[in-house]
Amino acid sequence: MLDPGHNGGNAGKPGEINKQVPAGRGKKKPCNTTGTATNSGYPEHAFTWDVSQRIAQALTAKGVRVVLTRQNDTGVGPCVDERAAIGNDAQADAVVSIHADGSNSDGAHGFHVAYSAPPLNAQQGEPSTRLATALRDGIRAGGFPTSTYLGTNGLAPRADLGGLNLSTRPAALVECGNMRNAAEAAAMSSEEGRQQYAAVIAKAIADYLKG
């Protein structure tokens, strides 16, 4: 399952996206957020939608059945708990959320892959760690640098991400880069750059599914 982060209609429905929903570990969080954007205004929701479409196309061509958590970039949500439920209900062999970060820290750049830790079920253990590592290895092999400011060597164990906490399938979240970094913003804003992100992520997912 591919989970393109955020949605194009979120900003117009603050009441809906700010409602509290289960986020795992006994906590609640807002349904969703608007996401970040480049300094020139290219939004994260558009980037994640475009890249996820490209990944889905590449995987479908390899015979992989792909489920998406949203069907367009004009809607609202789904909430984080609903996104997790889609992957759980589909019995997905891999759940990959696509995001981009928005740090204003000097020199902050690079990608990282988050996974649920400490694990709340068996699938959040070795399978999710292996998925996150496969994504990290594949994206790095594709020429993208690991994050200089989050995680360690491109991997980030997290206990605060609802979509990962609520998953009963192997799940990981890719922060493709920092939209506030000029070079990465340029890549994310270009068709060529988005295709490069999609190609390396699709290959990493396919490699993981091969076992």
CATH code, domain carrying 133 = 3.40.630.40
Select which of 175, 184, 191, 192 is catalytic. Answer: 175
* Closest alpha carbon to 31 in 44, 45, 18: 18
Per-residue pLDDT of the chain (211 residues), as tens digits, is 999 999 999 999 999 999 999 999 999 999 999 999 999 999 999 999 999 999 999 999 999 999 999 999 999 999 999 999 999 999 999 999 999 999 999 999 999 999 999 999 999 999 999 999 999 999 999 999 999 999 999 999 999 999 999 999 999 999 999 999 999 999 999 999 999 999 999 999 999 999 8
List Cβ<8 Å contacts ≥24 apart for 28-35: 29/80, 29/162, 31/77, 31/79, 31/80, 32/6, 32/7, 32/76, 32/77, 32/78, 32/79, 32/80, 33/6, 34/6, 34/10, 35/5, 35/6, 35/10, 35/99, 35/100, 35/102
Residue 132: domain span? 2-210
Whether 175 is catalytic is: yes
Number of domains in the chain: 1
